[in-house]
């Protein structure tokens, strides 16, 4: 299947996993400096399932909640940006919860890797670009979203690419370009545009394997690339054994962070993924 055909399938499919409307509204509100917690509450409470899961997470030891019985209180306690991250995480869990069509596509490993990258991106963001830390978390969570499209429309081709990557220990995106003529980052960028993601997020998804090619949002894309490398180094691998990147330390230094922080960030990332699995009850 060529890229043009795949793009048409993305545009025409009624069954393509799409984030709920509440998520798009939350992302817009979190980026609006004039948005109020009450406005966020009105949006979130429209979805009973998401409301229930946010309250469960807000009451978990991971988020330090205690007797949080309403979305309003959860928002007041967590803040708008943290609620945005939670909503994206819950919606993303729903998107990947279905059975994969590809035999070799492991959605649990995919989710762990995505969460590890999101967590590392948030940490790096707080150190480098504090005002964008939560948006970087969302970009990290979504950076490999193109795999879901490949799983839906090209399961046999995805199986073949995964098999080759695992056998040769070469990066998936390299194998995909050789075998398909495009890669999951390119597909993810198409999907993120359809979902209405911000330009920063679209660029991070498109260029996380080659941040130097991003001329518009290179700093934030470099953060996602560094977070991706950290995740691979920590053992949160997505299909292949190699991340196909410069070392995490080198990428961190390229955005002005000393390599001495590498171990601390890696340890936090591993702990966060474990705790999130417990909070979302994912096995």
The C-alpha atoms of residue 240 and residue 172 are separated, in whole angstroms, by 6
**Burial degree of 261 (CB within 10 A; 0-12, 13-18, 19+):** middle
pLDDT on residue 281: 60
Provide CATH code, domain 3-17+99-280.
1.10.3210.10
Quote the crossing angle between the two packed helices 48-58 and 80-96, to the nearest 10°.
120
How crowded is residue 121: how many other Cβ atoms within 10 Å of its Cβ? 33
Rounded to 5 degrees, what angle do the CA atoms 80, 86, 88 make?
A: 105
- Which 8-state DSSP code applies to residue 121? H
Place of tokens 């995964």: 162
pLDDT on residue 223: 94
Quote the crossing angle between the two packed helices 199-207 and 184-194, to the nearest 10°.
170
The C-alpha atoms of residue 8 and residue 5 are separated, in whole angstroms, by 5
Domain extents for the chain? Answer: 3-17+99-280
How crowded is residue 73: how many other Cβ atoms within 10 Å of its Cβ? 16
Q: What is the pLDDT along the chain (283 residues), one digit of tens a residue?
A: 788 888 888 777 645 554 556 677 777 777 777 888 888 888 777 766 677 777 777 777 776 656 676 778 888 877 777 777 777 777 776 666 666 688 898 888 888 888 889 889 999 999 989 988 888 888 888 899 899 889 888 999 999 999 998 898 888 999 999 999 999 999 999 888 877 678 898 999 999 999 989 999 999 999 999 999 889 888 888 766 555 556 777 888 788 887 778 888 888 888 888 877 775 566 6
Which of 52, 61, 138, 60 is CA-nearest to residue 92? Answer: 138
- Centroid of chain to Cα 161: 21
pLDDT on residue 257: 82
The answer to whether the predicted template modeling score (pTM) of the entire model surpasses 0.85 is no
What CA dihedral angle connects 148, 154, 156 and 162, to 10 degrees? -50
pLDDT on residue 161: 94
Query: What is the SS3 assignment for 19?
Result: coil
88 and 140 Cβ atoms separated by less than 8 Å: no
The C-alpha atoms of residue 206 and residue 15 are separated, in whole angstroms, by 23
């Amino acid at each position: 299947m060529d890229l043009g055909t795949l793009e048409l399938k993305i545009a025409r499919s009624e069954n393509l996993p799409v984030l709920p409307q509440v998520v798009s509204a939350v992302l817009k509100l979190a980026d609006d400096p004039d948005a109020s917690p009450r406005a966020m509450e009105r949006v979130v409470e429209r979805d009973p399932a998401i409301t229930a899961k946010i309250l469960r997470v807000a009451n978990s030891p991971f988020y330090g909640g205690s007797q949080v019985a309403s979305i309003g209180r959860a928002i007041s306690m967590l803040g708008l940006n943290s609620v945005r991250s939670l909503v994206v995480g819950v919606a993303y869990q729903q998107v990947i919860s279905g059975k994969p069509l590809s035999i070799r596509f492991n959605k649990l490993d995919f989710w762990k890797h995505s969460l590890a990258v999101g967590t590392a991106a948030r940490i790096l963001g707080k150190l480098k670009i504090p005002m964008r830390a939560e948006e970087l978390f969302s970009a990290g969570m979504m950076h490999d979203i193109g795999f879901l499209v490949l799983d839906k429309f090209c399961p046999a081709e995805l199986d073949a690419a995964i098999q080759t990557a695992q056998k040769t220990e070469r990066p998936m995106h390299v194998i995909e370009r050789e075998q398909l003529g495009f890669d999951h980052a390119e597909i993810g960028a198409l999907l993120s545009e359809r979902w209405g993601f911000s330009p920063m997020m679209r660029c991070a998804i498109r260029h996380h394997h080659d941040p130097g090619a991003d001329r518009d949002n290179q700093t934030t894309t470099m953060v996602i690339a560094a977070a991706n490398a950290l995740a691979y180094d920590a053992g949160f691998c997505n299909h292949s054994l190699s991340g196909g990147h410069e070392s995490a330390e080198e990428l961190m230094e390229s955005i002005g962070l000393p390599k001495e922080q590498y171990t601390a960030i890696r340890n936090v990332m591993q702990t966060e993924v474990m705790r999130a699995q417990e909070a979302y009850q994912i096995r």
